[in-house]
Chains A and B, each alone.
Chain A
Amino acid sequence: MPLLNNISAINHALDKEMERDKSVVVYGEDVGFEGGVFRATAGLQKKHGVDRCFDTPLAESGIVGSAVGMAVNGMKPVVEMQFSGFVLPAMNQILGHVARYRNRTRGRYNLPMVIRMPYGGGVRALEHHSESMEDIFAQTPGLKVVIPSTPYDTKGLLLAAIRDPDPVIFLEPKRIYRAFKQDVPEEDYTLPIGKAKIVQEGEDITVVVWGALVREAQKAIKEIEDEGISVELIDLRTISPLDKETIIESVQKTGRFLVVHEAFKSFGPGAELISTVNEGAFLYLEAPPTRLTGFDITIPLPKGEHHFIIEPKQIADKIREIVSF
């Protein structure tokens, strides 16, 4: 069983799927010869050929737009946006076409394609390298939005995304690309898109997180473990479609709710989750459902980013606050 980190899990999954399914093609900027700026596609061109893993001109709309045509013509493109902040030129394609093709053609053309992108802050990078924009995609009918948090999940979810008959936005928390390693089974497996994972069960409060913040929440829970607070931690894994059932069931049990995300607060995913809790577990609540989120500001450059990035202590304090309401 190989010991993989998140980035090598992506590479491993792509490699396996390209081997299994000849219609899978992988491309983007620096993706081919170099193997990606984060090395997600390292070695794939050499192994699977320049036809199936290649570099493109530097044009995001061209990358996504051509993937639409590829998918219509029988391929399964897995394209990379070098950073999620660079996806903006491709939004015309993603929101205007990718999300709509199945409905527009009444099911004649579905688009089995994956748009991968490193996302989120915490790597002390330039502007447009640290955004968390999962909400924009999640608000768009026709897209699925998946965010893995561990190497095991990365492999299972990426394989599920490639095999999904609908387009999947695959957001990779780049802060934890190399943060830790995990045993990942060599054999083929997928994880269901649209299902959250209960990371640990608890009685007093439900905490929902995804991506890089799963680890931060786990650290927070460790910090308060001696305080007699029992936390149920849920890793959402998929932002859209949302696993409302798991969340509501959990809050009906715990009576308290916290969602933590790095995306902006206003109109963000936390607002959606709190509405979900209010609609599904209102009479069970013992404290106001709460969100701990990024501020409604442009994400700061590295010297100011520490204010924006949510740390375990902030999560722990927020849990204490809710439990003592």
Chain B
Amino acid sequence: MLVDQFNPLEGKMLSILDKDGNVKDKKLVPKIEDEKLIEIYKTMLLTRVADIKALQYQRQGRMLTYAPNQGQEATQVGSIAASEEKDWLVPAFRELGAWLYKGVPLEQIFLYWYGNESGSDFPENVKMLPISVPIASQLNHAVGIGMATNIKGEDEVTLAYVGDGGTSQGEFSEALNFAGVFNTPTVFIISNNQFAISVPRKFQTKAKTLAQKSIGFGIPGIQVDGNDVLAVYAATKEAVDRARKGEGPTLIETVTYRLGPHTTSDDPKIYREDVEVEEWKEKDPLIRFRKYLIDKNLWDEEKDEKQKEEFENIVNSNFKKVEESGKISLEKIFKYNYEEMTPELIEQYEEYKNYIEKGVK
């Protein structure tokens, strides 16, 4: 078991590819079909392309606040790729690659960041909760999903995401504790991207790793190289398989780096050195994985260029549709607070509707 081989208390971190995409230990390489390897890579590439575009749109004043993902694609896609369609995804807010792999249409994701709740009304088959802004509170939802899974005797697994800052929240501890007590099929993924906005990881905890936090709750924990998609996949797959067999939750810490700002409204130059960012750019998860695929003759530079271009067009056309979506109707902002609008809401709605129909606003 990887969780036994890589004990975070012994300072061990699971890592399979080096930064040049070479396999360090063949025995650790997870079994993934070629087709799936390509699908994983393509999702990572789409994530990167969409992310860069979204930042551009935001800088052009066409998009509202946006949380960039650059540098974290391996963590996002490697983890979700180890789950199945029937499994649940409980996001924090920076998992673009995971959402795309799960099947959320890019248009909807952009619609959310564009400022429209309909961006969280995912297609029926996409078992994913909406983005959760209150940090770490979503982890308790993930555990509740798992408690229901257990009661119903089903074998779905829930993947739940949180950042390094989120591990300081009380709800993080409550969720891990409940997951342990009720033996829920939950895989917690801490995307440790080194910063909670401006606050570095060392100010979140004195613990050497975030993975070791699992130990106090009696559940296994493992730290993996979060920029190594094979390592992320391997650790998650093991955790998912255990959870599905009824062997309970796992905590995975993926060590990665947020190459961009926290959101479009902050400037990371204030709180970190360029040289640090440059160092992490050398560990870019996309470059590493691409080299691995090229070595396996599954991909080449020419394909890469073509694919990137195709994705750019897809991203542009999706965003264009979002821009054409316009504003939300008055009815929609009232309609979904309860199954049926209360008499008070009907009154407020009618009064304002009559007012604006006179053309004053």
Complexed CA–CA distance, A70 and B145 (Å):
5
Asked if residues B337 and A70 are in contact (CB atoms below 8 Å), the reply is: no
From B169-177, B194-202, B290-298, give the one contacting chain A.
Answer: B169-177
Within 329-350 of B, Cβ neighbours of A (below 8 Å) are at 332, 335-339, 342-344
User: How many B residues touch A, CB cutoff 8 Å?
Assistant: 43
Known: A66-B147, A73-B149. A194 touches B342 (CB 8 A): yes
Asked if residues B151 and A68 are in contact (CB atoms below 8 Å), the reply is: no
Within 118-164 of B, Cβ neighbours of A (below 8 Å) are at 118, 120-122, 129-130, 132, 134, 137, 139-152, 158
Known: A72-B145, A74-B148, A242-B344. A65 touches B174 (CB 8 A): yes
Known: A66-B178, A102-B337. A61 touches B171 (CB 8 A): yes
Known: A103-B337, A107-B121, A241-B342. A57 touches B144 (CB 8 A): no
Give the nearest-CB partner of B174 in chain A.
A62
How many A-B residue contacts, CB cutoff 8 Å? 136
Give the nearest-CB partner of A65 in chain B.
B140
Give the nearest-CB partner of B180 in chain A.
A57
| A318 vs chain B, min Cβ distance (A) | 27
Asked if residues B118 and A106 are in contact (CB atoms below 8 Å), the reply is: yes
Asked if residues A69 and B137 are in contact (CB atoms below 8 Å), the reply is: no
Known: A25-B151, A93-B137. A69 touches B144 (CB 8 A): yes
Complexed CA–CA distance, A178 and B170 (Å):
36
Complexed CA–CA distance, A114 and B83 (Å):
32
Asked if residues B130 and A65 are in contact (CB atoms below 8 Å), the reply is: no
Asked if residues A69 and B142 are in contact (CB atoms below 8 Å), the reply is: yes
**What bracket does the count of chain A residues touching chain B fall in?**
35 or more
Contacts of A303 in B (CB 8 A): none
Contacts of B181 in A (CB 8 A): 56-57
Complexed CA–CA distance, A108 and B119 (Å):
11
| B124 vs chain A, min Cβ distance (A) | 9
1/0 per position for B187-206, CB-CB distance to A under 8 A?
Answer: 00000000000000000000
Complexed CA–CA distance, A190 and B170 (Å):
38
Count chain A CB atoms within 10 A of each CB in B121, B122, B139, B144 and give the residue with the most. Answer: B144
Complexed CA–CA distance, A178 and B149 (Å):
37
| A113 vs chain B, min Cβ distance (A) | 10
1/0 per position for B81-121, CB-CB distance to A under 8 A?
Answer: 00000001010000000000000000000000000011011
Give the nearest-CB partner of A93 in chain B.
B137
Contacts of B339 in A (CB 8 A): 102, 110, 165-166
The 5 closest A-B pairs by CB, nearest first: A69-B144, A65-B140, A66-B144, A62-B174, A73-B148
The contact sample of 30 A-B pairs, CB cut-off 8 A, is A52-B151, A57-B181, A61-B140, A65-B143, A67-B144, A68-B141, A69-B145, A71-B144, A73-B148, A73-B149, A74-B148, A74-B152, A89-B170, A92-B137, A92-B171, A93-B140, A96-B134, A97-B141, A102-B337, A103-B336, A105-B117, A105-B121, A105-B130, A106-B118, A109-B129, A142-B338, A166-B338, A240-B342, A241-B343, A244-B343
Interface residues of A (CB under 8 A from B): 25, 51-52, 56-57, 59, 61-62, 64-75, 77, 89, 92-93, 96-97, 101-110, 141-142, 144, 165-166, 194, 240-242, 244-245
